[in-house]
Structure 1
Amino acid sequence: MRGILMTLAMFSSAAVCAEPVADLTGAARQQVKAFATTLGGTLKASMQKDGPVAAIAVCNTEAPAIASQLSTDGWQVARTSLKIRNPDNAADAWETQVLEDFSARMAAGEDPAGLEASVTDDGEFRYMKAIPTAGLCLTCHGAELAPAVEAKLAQLYPQDQARGFNVGDLRGAFTLRKVLEE
């Protein structure tokens, strides 16, 4: 039911300003693709060259830098999850609702690769795109981690909750915001 209500809310927002929302959604998808491609490439290269412990350090510095570089032209680009690694990425109420909806839709058999949500509310456009857990993610986000990986995570993320995932689980979501001009 929650998914239906969220879908109706998205369509009602879209009906009010169909063309701008379509344009904003397209722009948000491009931002997500740029973030995912850049971060994924950086992490894969670091893993191959220096191993997972070095990749954790790279992720610690590069993920926020990439998000910051993409946060231009009024966009705020970030990631969040119900099980966060970095407290700075904690979900707000809308993001939590969307993540819970994504989880329910996945449990009902929906492909996580296609899960997205958007809303226009109070002069702001918001967009989220699910991040499914891939095999490579389990090196640092799985149930069983190498001792060196655990040690580096404890050093960089003492409040880490982002473990115990399996391939295909909802790892989190890209989350974007843009204040709309009147």
Structure 2
Amino acid sequence: MAGEKDKKQILKISGKKQFLEVMANCINIDRLYINFEDYDDTKPKGQRKGQQVQIYIDMLDAYVLAKDIFSGKIDALGKKSRETAKAGGYTYAKEVFSRIGGVSAVKLAKMGAPRKDKMSLSRTFKITPGIKTKWVLSAESGPGEEDANRLIVPKYKTPEQIIRVGMNDEQLKVFASAIELLAHAWMREKINGLVLTQEIKM
């Protein structure tokens, strides 16, 4: 329901025909959930939704990302990436932050939604220095394989789905603020749980 979704949406940043949402849905499973979607506003209402890629990042990892944005580390990495691209004659700079994840083939089968190629579903989140905008946050998905560490590793040259949302410096900081807000809520929940369940011996 729309009302329920709005309550769980902490932040929404929109591009021309795409957006990302920072959601509160998954702090109970220790994850930051970022929902990426694109749409076609020329179509009738109810038919505008296009691609969707859902990103899940370990909450502590996401918290460190927020700190790196606020400290200027991500900005410094972005400058270095741009300089490297320029020196090498490349049009596009390399990403400065990337995390992979996804759903294993076994889990997809249990969910009743196996891929036709029987592979795992890979998802990748990236923060990359942009050209038209200072930053590009992207989510992509495609076939993957589960490695020895149970990570879903991408196995494609071109993703099946990719959604990009451009941001300026201020928007990136707002994005980091939303992450920090959720991370603090998650930490309070964890600490309260420890206090409630811990036995104090005198």
Check whether TM > 0.5.
no
Higher RCO (CA < 8 A, seq sep 6+): 1
Q: TM-score range by the shorter chain?
A: under 0.3
Which of these two proteins has the greater Rg computed from alpha carbons?
Answer: 2
Q: Which has the higher helix share?
A: 1
Q: Which has the higher strand share?
A: 2
